[in-house]
């Protein structure tokens, strides 16, 4: 008999779970796709996997989704109307990013430094600054079997992932729903990860028993403590004989270790060719279901 | 001084492992400087055991702050903020969430009662250190802070100054994952880059993306394949791709238990591996220096 999940009585809101790691390559995407696939196959709620690692979006390589909708993400850049501009310098003064300068009686614009905040357009006393859209990324949504899927992709040559993540979340996460959303985050602990974790109900940290894995797990746990205080848990990937230091840290921080995925060449090979672990090794399905149950228990406990 | 940057696109392919191994080998007969440009998950220091000589504060974070006593709760700040950083708090006033404020000042200029100010704060620190492999410039962006690109630029500029003072011949930079602002900041002005990838669908996919970014900045690239032979089919495709676009292959590191065990020691793997592995890294360094000089 297939194990199934029973809905929690009285639970009528969405559940947003961010999967983060600090260090890259510890297995965020592996956990995200296998967990999402498992929940979607069993759950009575609609389940989404949202790939928020817009610099290196990889979840689709495992899920092979069919996309049904695609929208561009644009940001608004200033365009100076030189007929109206009096080179008064108010915009230059207002810009906090040094993206505007005056030279030869004209305002010059440096696109690479612009944050597209709109400050200059708002302050211009001559109404000489218009705005024009620039493509910064693409959003796509679709499905992979019973799982709903969405991703954002940052355009090559555009360096700020945050607007793409923000737009992706606004597009996919509705205000009211009882869907489950798994967000696959970027590595690191700076703005893209902050933008992804924002508004989440739970943080799942995927780590590996190496010096780098532990070091960066500490950083991402610190980020959560400082900015969000989300209930959180740990998955140890590539687990083996060296888990002790992670266990010690987990105990100190009162973070439960919810799952261990053993270090295995078989798993690494399945990963390398884009296969789902739960399809290669069906026994793992119940482990991923248990992982989901633990997360669900913690989230509902917090919200009671 | 030749500047060589190690990047990957996908995280966890072995950038830091390769940087430390190359640094160890290069330092045997050259004056080198090392820099860690992965400022929000800085790991090179875990391998090089540096002695910090100078610590500098990084004042990168600028955020807007509302003075609640003068705020008239008109909501104009929320209207103009494009970063969703302003919200109506329960008391009849507005607040700015520091995690999302980019410090653009749009709200400052629009506030009718001048209740908003931009404040700078320390969002990290950077260090000049010494190590037995050469000087190391590294940093620590506090978790959740912005402007990692600016801190990367700071670390690199300092590495250049330090390198000149020390008459170094090589600056070896451990880069960040992804293709976003810290990567573009790390790429700026370097002589060449080495992409460390792995024969996995994801590794290959992200290698192509970061290669396109390096091309965008017209920086020559070489390729190192880590965990080679994990997937012979994808490896063949990667090598075919590299050959087609004229990207030199500088070396391959096998998927090997001894290498994984060496990565658990807190030092360059070239110091922990059995001797028979050393030619692999020595040869890789010869290829990379030849490739960098070539350009």
Same domain (yes/no): A272, A144:
yes
Concatenating the DSSP letter of every residue in B52-68 gives: EEEEEEE--EEEEEE-T
Question: What domain range is A102 assigned to?
Answer: 82-127
- Most A CBs within 10 Å: which of B181, B186, B216, as the mutation test of the A interface? B181
Q: Quote the pLDDT of residue B294.
A: 56
Q: What is the pLDDT of residues B100-127, one digit of tens each?
A: 899 999 999 999 999 999 999 899 999 9
The alpha carbon of residue B235 is apart from the nearest alpha carbon of chain A, in Å, by 10
pLDDT grade for A279, boundaries at 50, 70 and 90? very high
Contact flag A154-B179 (C-beta cutoff 8 Å)? yes
Same domain (yes/no): A197, A90:
no
The domain B61-121: what is its CATH number? 3.30.70.20
Is B13 strand, coil or helix? coil
Which DSSP category does A13 fall into?
S
Worst-scoring range by mean pLDDT, A96-105, A106-115, B85-94? B85-94
Mean pLDDT of chain A, nearest integer = 92
Burial class of residue A55 (count of CB atoms within 10 Å of its CB; 0-12, 13-18, 19+): buried
Closest chain B CA to residue A271: B200
Is the Cβ of A199 closer than 8 Å to some Cβ of chain B?
no
Is the Cβ of A272 closer than 8 Å to some Cβ of chain B?
yes
pLDDT at A12 over 60: no
Q: Which of A56, A122, A265 sits opposite B209 (nearest CB)?
A: A56
Same domain (yes/no): A228, A118:
no
Same domain (yes/no): A184, A49:
yes
Backbone CA torsion sign across B228, B231, B233, B234: negative
A 136-195 → B contacts, CB under 8 A: 154, 156-157, 159-161, 166, 186-195
Residue A129 bridge partners (DSSP): A80
Asked whether residue A4 is assigned to any structural domain, the reply reads: no
**Given A111, A127, A143, which residue is the final one in a domain?**
A127
Q: Quote the pLDDT of residue A94.
A: 95
pLDDT grade for A6, boundaries at 50, 70 and 90? very low
Same domain (yes/no): A118, A204:
no
Which DSSP category does A188 fall into?
B
pLDDT at A7 over 90: no
Beta strands in B38-180 (DSSP E): 51-58, 61-66, 86-88, 94-96, 116-121, 124-130, 136-141, 170-174
What stretch(es) of chain B map to CATH 3.30.70.20?
61-121
**Which residues in A lie closer than 8 A to residue B203 (C-beta atoms)?**
272
Beta strands in chain B (DSSP E): 2-7, 32-36, 51-58, 61-66, 86-88, 94-96, 116-121, 124-130, 136-141, 170-174, 192-197, 221-228, 248-254
What is the share, in percent, of chain B residues with pLDDT greater than 90?
88
The alpha carbon of residue B167 is apart from the nearest alpha carbon of chain A, in Å, by 31
Contact B185, B217 (CB under 8 A): no
Worst-scoring range by mean pLDDT, A242-251, B60-69, B90-99? B90-99
The alpha carbon of residue A300 is apart from the nearest alpha carbon of chain B, in Å, by 25
Is B173 strand, coil or helix? strand
Same domain (yes/no): A260, A155:
yes
Asked whether residue A187 is assigned to any structural domain, the reply reads: yes
Hey, how many other C-beta atoms are within 10 angstroms of the C-beta on A297? 12
Asked whether residue A202 is assigned to any structural domain, the reply reads: yes
**Which residues in B lie closer than 8 A to residue A220 (C-beta atoms)?**
143
Closest chain B CA to residue A53: B178
pLDDT at A4 over 50: no
Contact B144, A194 (CB under 8 A): yes
Same domain (yes/no): A121, A30:
no
Structural tokens at position A38: 């498992």
Contact flag A189-B144 (C-beta cutoff 8 Å)? yes
Q: What is the pLDDT of residues A31-51, one digit of tens each?
A: 999 999 999 998 677 999 999
Distance CA B96, CA B68 (A): 11
Same domain (yes/no): A29, A106:
no
Same domain (yes/no): A68, A86:
no
Closest chain A CA to residue B216: A157
Residue A257 bridge partners (DSSP): A234
**Which residues in A lie closer than 8 A to residue B234 (C-beta atoms)?**
272-273
pLDDT grade for B161, boundaries at 50, 70 and 90? very high
Query: How many Cα neighbours within 13 Å face the side chain of B82?
Result: 20
Total domains present in chain A: 2
Same domain (yes/no): A88, A227:
no
Distance CA B132, CA B83 (A): 45
Question: Which residue in B21, B62, B61, B58 sits closest to B157, CA to CA?
Answer: B58
Is A80 strand, coil or helix? strand
The alpha carbon of residue B133 is apart from the nearest alpha carbon of chain A, in Å, by 20
What is the share, in percent, of chain B residues with pLDDT greater than 70?
99
Q: What is the pLDDT of residues A126-182, one digit of tens each?
A: 999 999 999 999 999 999 999 999 999 999 988 889 999 999 999 998 877 889 999
Contact flag A242-B264 (C-beta cutoff 8 Å)? yes
Asked whether residue A224 is assigned to any structural domain, the reply reads: yes
Q: What is the pLDDT of residues A171-216, one digit of tens each?
A: 998 877 889 999 999 999 999 999 999 999 999 999 999 999 999 9
Contact B247, B221 (CB under 8 A): yes
pLDDT at B241 over 80: yes
Closest chain A CA to residue B217: A157
Taking only Cα atoms into account, the Rg of chain B, rounded to an integer number of angstroms, comes to 22
Q: What is the pLDDT of residues B246-287, one digit of tens each?
A: 999 999 999 999 999 999 999 999 999 999 999 999 999 999
H or E element that contains A154? strand A147-154
Check which CATH number belongs to the domain holding A259 and give it: 3.40.50.300
CATH class, range B2-59+124-294: alpha beta
Asked whether residue A6 is assigned to any structural domain, the reply reads: no
Contact flag A211-B43 (C-beta cutoff 8 Å)? yes
**Which residues in B lie closer than 8 A to residue A122 (C-beta atoms)?**
80, 106, 109-110
What stretch(es) of chain B map to CATH 3.40.50.300?
2-59+124-294
Q: What's the rounded mean pLDDT across residues A105-122?
A: 93
Size of interface A-B (CB pairs under 8 A): 185
Asked whether residue A212 is assigned to any structural domain, the reply reads: yes
Asked whether residue A10 is assigned to any structural domain, the reply reads: no
The alpha carbon of residue A47 is apart from the nearest alpha carbon of chain B, in Å, by 23
Question: Which residue in B36, B9, B120, B148 sits closest to A193, CA to CA?
Answer: B148
pLDDT at A8 over 50: no
Closest chain A CA to residue B198: A272
**Which residues in A lie closer than 8 A to residue B230 (C-beta atoms)?**
265, 268-269, 272
Same domain (yes/no): A35, A58:
yes
Query: Residues near A14 by Cβ (< 8 Å), separated by ≥ 6?
Result: A173, A174, A176, A177, A178, A179, A180, A181
pLDDT grade for A3, boundaries at 50, 70 and 90? very low
Contact flag A160-B181 (C-beta cutoff 8 Å)? yes
Same domain (yes/no): A237, A299:
yes
Distance CA A169, CA A152 (A): 9
Asked whether residue A8 is assigned to any structural domain, the reply reads: no
């Amino acid at each position: 008999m297939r194990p199934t999940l029973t809905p929690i009585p009285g639970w009528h809101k969405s559940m947003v779970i961010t999967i983060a790691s600090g260090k890259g390559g510890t297995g965020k995407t592996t956990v995200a796709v296998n967990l999402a696939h498992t929940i979607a196959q069993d759950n009575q709620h609609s389940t989404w996997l949202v790939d928020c690692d817009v610099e290196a979006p990889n979840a689709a390589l495992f899920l092979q989704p069919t996309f049904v909708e695609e929208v561009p993400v644009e940001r608004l850049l200033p365009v100076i109307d030189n007929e109206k501009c009096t080179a008064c310098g108010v915009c230059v003064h207002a810009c906090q990013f040094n993206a505007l300068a005056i030279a030869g009686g004209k305002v010059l614009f440096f696109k690479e430094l612009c944050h597209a905040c709109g400050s200059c357009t708002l302050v211009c006393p001559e109404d000489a600054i218009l705005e024009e859209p620039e493509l910064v990324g693409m959003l796509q949504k679709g499905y992979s079997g019973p799982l709903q899927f969405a991703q954002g992709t940052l355009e090559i040559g555009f360096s700020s992932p945050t607007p793409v993540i923000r737009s992706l979340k606004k597009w996919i996460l509705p205000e009211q729903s009882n869907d489950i959303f798994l967000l696959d985050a970027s590595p690191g602990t700076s703005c893209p990860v902050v933008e992804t974790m924002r508004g989440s109900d739970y943080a799942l940290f995927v780590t590996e028993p190496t010096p780098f894995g532990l070091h960066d797990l500490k950083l991402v746990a610190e980020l959560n403590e400082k900015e969000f205080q989300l209930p959180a848990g740990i998955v140890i990937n590539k687990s083996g004989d060296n888990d002790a230091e992670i266990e010690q840290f987990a105990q100190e921080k009162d973070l439960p270790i919810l799952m261990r995925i053993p270090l295995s060449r078989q798993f690494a090979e399945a990963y390398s060719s884009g296969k789902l672990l739960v399809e290669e090794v069906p026994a793992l399905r119940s482990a991923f279901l248990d992982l989901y149950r633990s997360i669900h228990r913690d989230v509902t406990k917090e919200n009671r | 001084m030749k500047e060589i940057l190690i990047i990957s696109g996908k995280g966890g392919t072995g950038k830091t492992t390769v940087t430390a191994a190359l640094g160890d080998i290069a330092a045997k007969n050259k004056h080198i400087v090392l820099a860690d440009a992965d400022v929000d998950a800085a790991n090179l220091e875990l391998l090089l055991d540096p002695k910090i000589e100078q610590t500098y504060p990084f004042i990168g974070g600028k955020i807007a702050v509302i003075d609640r006593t003068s705020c008239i709760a008109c909501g104009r700040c929320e209207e103009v903020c494009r970063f969703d950083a302003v919200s109506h708090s329960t008391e009849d006033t507005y607040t700015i969430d520091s995690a999302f404020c980019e410090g653009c000042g749009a709200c400052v200029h629009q506030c009718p009662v001048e209740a908003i100010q931009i404040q700078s704060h320390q969002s990290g620190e950077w260090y000049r250190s010494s190590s037995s492999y050469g000087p190391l410039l590294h940093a620590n962006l506090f978790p959740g802070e912005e402007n990692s690109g600016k801190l990367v630029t700071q670390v690199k500029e300092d590495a250049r100054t330090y390198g000149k003072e020390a008459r170094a011949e090589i600056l070896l930079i451990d880069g960040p994952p992804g293709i976003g602002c810290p990567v573009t900041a790390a790429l700026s002005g370097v002589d060449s880059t080495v992409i460390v990838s792995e024969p996995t669908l994801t590794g290959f996919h992200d290698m192509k993306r970061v290669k396109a970014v390096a091309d965008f900045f017209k920086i020559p690239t070489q390729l190192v394949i880590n965990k080679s032979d994990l997937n012979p089919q994808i490896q063949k495709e990667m090598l075919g791709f590299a050959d087609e676009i004229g990207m030199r292959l500088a070396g391959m590191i096998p998927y090997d238990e001894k290498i994984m065990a060496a990565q658990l020691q807190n030092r360059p793997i070239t110091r922990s591996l059995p001797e028979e592995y050393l030619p692999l890294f020595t040869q890789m360094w010869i290829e990379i220096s030849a490739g960098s000089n070539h350009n």
